Amino acid sequence: MDGLTELEARSREWPQEWLEQGRERGREEGRADGQRELLGRLAAQKFGQAVSDHLVAALVEVHDPIRLQAVGDLILDSQTGADFLRRFSTLEVEKQT
Under the banding of pLDDT at 50, 70 and 90, the label for residue 17 is confident
Residue 59's nearest CA partner among 31, 85, 39, 86 is 39
With 0.75 as the threshold, say if the pTM is over it.
no
pLDDT at 73: 96
Burial of 63 (0-12, 13-18, 19+ CB in 10 A): middle
